[in-house]
A = this chain, B = another copy of it.
Amino acid sequence: MNLKDIARRAKHASRKLAQLTSIERTNLLLLMCDSLSQAQPQVLEANRLDIESAQKSGLSKPMLDRLHLDEKRFKNMLQGLRDVAAQKDPLGQIIEHRQTPSGLELSKVRVPIGVVVMIYESRPNVTCESASLCFKSGNSVILKGGSEAIHTNRAICDAMRSVLKATALEDCIFFIDSSDRNVVKELVQLEGLVDLAIPRGGEGLIRSVLDSARVPVIKHSKGVCHTFVDESADLQMALDICENAKCQRPSVCNAMEALLVHEKIAGEFLPLCTKRLGEEGVTFRGAIGEPVDDWSAEYLDLILAVKIVPSLEEAISHINTFGSGHSDAIITNSEASKSRFLNEIDSAVVYVNASTRFTDGAEFGMGAEIGISTDKLHVRGPMGATELTTYKWLGVGSGQVRGS
A interface residue numbers (CB < 8 A to B): 15, 18-19, 98, 100, 104, 106, 113-114, 191, 195-196, 210-211, 214, 216-218, 234, 237, 240-241, 243-245, 248, 320, 338, 342-344, 346-355, 357-359, 363-365, 375-378, 380-381, 390-402, 404
Contacting pair B98 A365 (CB below 8 A): yes
Contacting pair A400 B348 (CB below 8 A): no
A-B contacts, 16 of them at CB < 8 A, read A237-B399, A240-B401, A244-B401, A248-B404, A338-B396, A342-B394, A347-B392, A351-B394, A354-B396, A355-B401, A357-B401, A357-B402, A358-B400, A364-B393, A377-B378, A380-B393
- Nearest B residue to A342 via CB reads B394
- Nearest B residue to A341 via CB reads B394
A355 to B396, CA, bound (A): 10
Contacting pair B399 A216 (CB below 8 A): no
Q: In the complex, how many angstroms separate the beta carbon of A192 from the nearest chain B beta carbon? A: 9
Which single member of B19, B241, B344, B390 contacts A401 (CB below 8 Å)? B241
Q: In the complex, how many angstroms separate the beta carbon of A275 from the nearest chain B beta carbon? A: 18
Q: Which of A248, A342, A394 has the most CB of B within 10 A?
A: A394
Contacting pair A351 B402 (CB below 8 A): no
Residues in B with CB closer than 8 Å to A381 are 392-393
A346 to B346, CA, bound (A): 34
Contacting pair A391 B395 (CB below 8 A): no
Contacting pair A395 B100 (CB below 8 A): no
A15 to B313, CA, bound (A): 13
Q: In the complex, how many angstroms separate the beta carbon of A322 from the nearest chain B beta carbon? A: 11
Residues in B with CB closer than 8 Å to A358 are 100, 104, 395, 400, 402
- Nearest B residue to A196 via CB reads B377
Contacting pair A377 B113 (CB below 8 A): yes
Q: In the complex, how many angstroms separate the beta carbon of A77 from the nearest chain B beta carbon? A: 18
Residues in B with CB closer than 8 Å to A400 are 353-355, 358
Which single member of B210, B216, B349, B391 contacts A380 (CB below 8 Å)? B391
Residues in B with CB closer than 8 Å to A349 are 392-395
Q: A-B pairs with the 9 shortest C-beta distances? A: A354-B397, A244-B401, A357-B402, A378-B378, A237-B399, A349-B393, A354-B400, A351-B395, A377-B378
Which single member of B19, B106, B234, B375 contacts A399 (CB below 8 Å)? B234
A358 to B99, CA, bound (A): 12
Q: Which of A211, A240, A381, A393 has the most CB of B within 10 A?
A: A393
A325 to B128, CA, bound (A): 31
Contacting pair A353 B392 (CB below 8 A): no
Q: Which of A248, A353, A401 has the most CB of B within 10 A?
A: A401
Residues in B with CB closer than 8 Å to A15 are 320, 344, 346
Q: In the complex, how many angstroms separate the beta carbon of A72 from the nearest chain B beta carbon? A: 14
Contacting pair B19 A343 (CB below 8 A): yes
Residues in B with CB closer than 8 Å to A348 are 392-393
Which single member of B191, B364, B375 contacts A106 (CB below 8 Å)? B364
A178 to B382, CA, bound (A): 40
5 new A-B pairs (CB below 8 Å) besides A100-B364, A210-B214, A354-B400? A195-B376, A244-B401, A354-B396, A358-B402, A363-B402
Q: In the complex, how many angstroms separate the beta carbon of A313 from the nearest chain B beta carbon? A: 12
Q: In the complex, how many angstroms separate the beta carbon of A6 from the nearest chain B beta carbon? A: 18
Q: In the complex, how many angstroms separate the beta carbon of A394 from the nearest chain B beta carbon? A: 5
A353 to B401, CA, bound (A): 9
- Nearest B residue to A14 via CB reads B346
Q: Which of A18, A104, A395 has the most CB of B within 10 A?
A: A395
Q: In the complex, how many angstroms separate the beta carbon of A327 from the nearest chain B beta carbon? A: 8
Residues in B with CB closer than 8 Å to A376 are 113-114, 195-196, 216, 390
Residues in B with CB closer than 8 Å to A354 are 104, 395-397, 399-401
